[in-house]
Structure formats: C-alpha cells, structure tokens
C-alpha cells in the first residue's frame, strides 16, 4: 500500500464494474475508505466485498444517480460511517448508439438523466459536505466524445460535452472553499459497456487501436491512475481541467 489517499473517504458512482470498480480498487489500495454505488445492488455489493471482505473500508450501496434522494442518502451514509466525504468520482454513465435522426426522445432523456443530471446531483450533495470541510476533490468522468463528434453518438457526445461545462462551473463555484473539480476524458477503454456497444468485433477493435498513437486500447486501470492523481494532493493546484486519457487517439481525428 502506497498510502497516497490514507485517511481519505471517497464515493465512486457506477462502481459495480469497469472504470468505476477499477478506481474504487485503486483508491482502496492507496489507503482510502471507499463507498461504491451503482443501480445494480447485488453487483455493487459483490464488488465491494471482493475488494474488502471485512466491509471496514469498502461499502457497496444501491443508488439511482437520477434521484436526488439517492444521491443525498449515499452522501449521508458515507459521512455517517466514515466521518467525511473527501473525494467524489462521478463515473456512472450509459451509452446508446443511434443517429440523431433515429434517436428516440426516451433514449435522449435517459442519457441526459444518467450522465449529466446524475453528476450534478451527486456533486451538489457532496459539495455541501466539502464546503463545510473547506476541502474536497470532485472528479467528473467525461469522454473524448465530449471533445469531438462521433457518428451514432450524438446524444452521448452531447452529455459528455455538458459534463465539461458542468465541471468548469463547479470549479469556479467551489474553488473558494478549497475544492478542486476536474474531469477525465477517456478514449476507447476495454470495459463491459464498451464491449457491448461498439467494440463488438475484432475488426472494429483493431480500427480503434489503429487510431491511437500507443497502439492499444485503454484499460480501466489506466483511468484509475489518473483518477488517483486528481484525487491526491499532487493535483492541489489544478482545477476546472479535463485530462484526455486516450493513448493519443485524439491526435488522429
């Protein structure tokens, strides 16, 4: 254990699998207490138990990020158990592929509810605790798709662009209280969501690999390392920024 987050307490949304679970695991390894939350209660509890069977430092909670009551309940439970909320990672997100002319209103609304409203609600609830503490780190998961257009991802791109704007405004509002707010923009990362939506064949996977300078897909652990940096005191003089973590994918488009 390196201990970069020793004594800190973090909330990670969408933590039952993929990037969220990898971030929770890395934070735990670095000494943090971690509350994993996800809409899939069984899966998130299993994820937390797998990281910390004792339940002393990792807890899995069910949460629908689109519900203000759920966001508040997670923040309240975290503060009650661990005494603070030092770090929030707004990782929960969904992706639906469709051309904008074919996108249903329901799918559009669902993407904005989960990806944008969820980030807002959890940031709002956590920020109230962090303001009292005069310290905190909020990390918002955007995407390379928030910085560039991607065919059949119009709604997703729009949500991830919105997160970048939310990120900057939160940084301005919360900076006077000693709270840092930054975003991560992953490129194609080998997760369950990505495998089920667009990396659906070896040929498509190779196309994405060929777009990168480093000639490989991202791993959840790659994003977790950057989240660790943004959650630690190494990033104390950085706020309102968005770090692209894409193996150089953005340079090729």
Active site residues: 156
Distance from C-alpha of 95 to C-alpha of 159, rounded to nearest angstrom: 10
Dihedrals phi, psi of 184, to nearest 5 degrees? -120, 135
Task: Report yes or no: 11 and 37 within 8 Å, Cβ to Cβ.
Answer: yes
3-state secondary structure of 33: strand
Distance from C-alpha of 93 to C-alpha of 156, rounded to nearest angstrom: 9
Dihedrals phi, psi of 32, to nearest 5 degrees? -80, 155
Distances, alpha carbon 16 to alpha carbons 22, 24, 100, 166, in Å: 9, 9, 30, 24
Name beta bridge partners: 39: none
Give buried/exposed letters for 93-120 (b at 16+ CB in 10 A, else e): bbbbbeeeeebeeeebeebbbbbbbbbb
């Amino acid at each position: 254990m390196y201990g970069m987050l020793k004594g800190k307490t973090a909330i990670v949304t969408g933590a039952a699998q993929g990037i969220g679970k990898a971030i929770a695991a890395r934070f735990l390894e670095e000494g943090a207490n971690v509350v994993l939350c996800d809409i899939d209660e069984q899966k998130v509890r299993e994820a937390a138990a797998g990281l910390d069977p004792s339940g002393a430092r990792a807890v899995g909670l069910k949460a629908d990020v689109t519900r203000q009551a759920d966001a508040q309940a997670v923040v309240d439970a975290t503060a009650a158990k661990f005494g603070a909320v030092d770090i929030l990672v707004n990782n929960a997100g969904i992706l639906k592929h469709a051309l904008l002319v074919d996108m249903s209103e329901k799918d559009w609304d669902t993407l904005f509810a989960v990806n944008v409203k969820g980030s807002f609600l959890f940031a709002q609830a956590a920020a109230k605790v962090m303001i009292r503490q005069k310290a905190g780190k909020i990390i918002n998961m955007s995407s390379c798709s928030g910085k560039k257009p991607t065919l059949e991802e119009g709604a997703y791109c729009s949500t991830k662009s919105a997160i970048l704007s939310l990120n900057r405004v939160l940084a301005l509002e919360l900076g006077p209280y000693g709270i840092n707010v930054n975003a991560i923009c992953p490129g194609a990362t080998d997760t369950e969501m990505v495998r089920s939506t667009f990396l659906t064949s070896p040929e498509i996977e190779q196309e994405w690999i060929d777009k990168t300078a480093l000639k490989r897909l991202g791993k959840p652990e790659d994003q977790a390392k950057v989240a660790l940096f943004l959650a630690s005191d190494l990033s104390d003089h950085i706020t309102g920024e968005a770090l692209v973590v894409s193996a150089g994918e953005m340079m090729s488009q």
